[in-house]
Amino acid sequence: MMPEKSAIASAVRTAHADHAGDTGGANASYIPYLASVDPSLFGVCVATADGDVFEAGDAGFEFALESISKVCSMALAMEHTGLPEFHDKVGADPTGEPFNSVIALALHGGKPLSPLVNAGAMSTVSLIPAASADERWQKILAMQSAFAGRDIRLSDAVNDSEQSTNFHNRAIAWLLYSSGSMYSDPMEACEVYTRQCSTLVTTRDLAVMGATVAARGRNPVTGKQVFDPSLVPPILAEMTMEGLYTSSGDWAYRVGLPGKSGVGGGVLAIMPGTLAIAAFSPPLDPAGNSVRAQKAVASVAAALKLNIYNATDFAQ
């Protein structure tokens, strides 16, 4: 059941007002561009499965999508391989290690375990059928745009910053290749993966992207079917297991909604069939999740009594 519009609008306003003054956390510093973004920026937005949008604060500011891009590429690869093959090749378990962990790979015979860590995300990119890096990239960009309902663009500034510093990810790509978990040229997969992280979205885009998952793969603003509805449960399962890095279990316990964050400061959570909650603020906690955005999303979810483990609560 959809919460009242007035209740959603009020929850978004309150989440922004209650956390606008919060400090804590630090911008990601290992990507030079991200370190330079104004840490005081803070946006909150809800998009519903009916296509209504409610926003507060800096919800129109464009920031780097980063790891949240992994959700779009996962849908693209799943559509191509089918679910059993995707599950077999990439996996659906938390690694228990940081998102760019080499140890996690070493511990599991070179298998990435999840499409939502860097290793699994590069493996995922390599599964998308393409004859060239550009074709692979155009498919991913088109998918991000369909999720958001507008033309998403690459930021050359973010991309240059990432491509010139992504030595760690290149090492992971070669490790995947050596263990048989890379299905294209490894440097092509790494390069295209890095581009997919370097696109710009607003908090509003992020909410509409989430609402596309909430609405069974149909973008509720454009009305376009972006991916097959059968992908929604596995996408949400992957997000539950690894969406907030090493805090994914804590997030499930405290908030109870499948989520995904990125080191650009975005956090997205999805109540299937109902709505998506997005927030953005650059300073991160040690796990890589935006401090303020986590609080804002949790606040909206609690105010609207949205929790997949207590799904009838708001209907009382």
Site residues (vs ligand GLU, CB under 6 A): 66-67, 99-100, 118, 162, 169, 197, 262-263, 288
Contact indicator for 268, 294 with CB cutoff of 8 Å = no
Residue 232 CB, shortest distance to ligand GLU, in Å, is 22
- By beta-carbon proximity to ligand GLU, the closer residue of 27 and 219 is 27
Residue 154 CB, shortest distance to ligand GLU, in Å, is 13
For 143, how many CA atoms within 13 A lie in the half-sphere containing its CB?
A: 26
Contact indicator for 268, 260 with CB cutoff of 8 Å = yes
What lies within 8 Å, CB to CB, of 283 at 6+ separation is 23, 24, 25, 26, 27, 39, 265, 290, 291, 292
Q: Which two tokens stand for residue 205?
A: 């885009």
Residue 84 CB, shortest distance to ligand GLU, in Å, is 27
- By beta-carbon proximity to ligand GLU, the closer residue of 125 and 232 is 125
For the sheet with 259-261, list strands across it.
53-57, 43-48, 275-280, 266-271, 259-261
Contact indicator for 110, 171 with CB cutoff of 8 Å = no
Residue 172 CB, shortest distance to ligand GLU, in Å, is 9
- By beta-carbon proximity to ligand GLU, the closer residue of 145 and 169 is 169
Cα separation, 272 vs 294, in Å, equals 19
Residue number closest to ligand GLU, CB atom? 67
- By beta-carbon proximity to ligand GLU, the closer residue of 99 and 183 is 99
Residue 233 CB, shortest distance to ligand GLU, in Å, is 23
- By beta-carbon proximity to ligand GLU, the closer residue of 39 and 51 is 39
Question: What's the farthest any 2 CA atoms get from each other in the chain?
Answer: 54
Residue 14 CB, shortest distance to ligand GLU, in Å, is 28
- By beta-carbon proximity to ligand GLU, the closer residue of 220 and 259 is 259
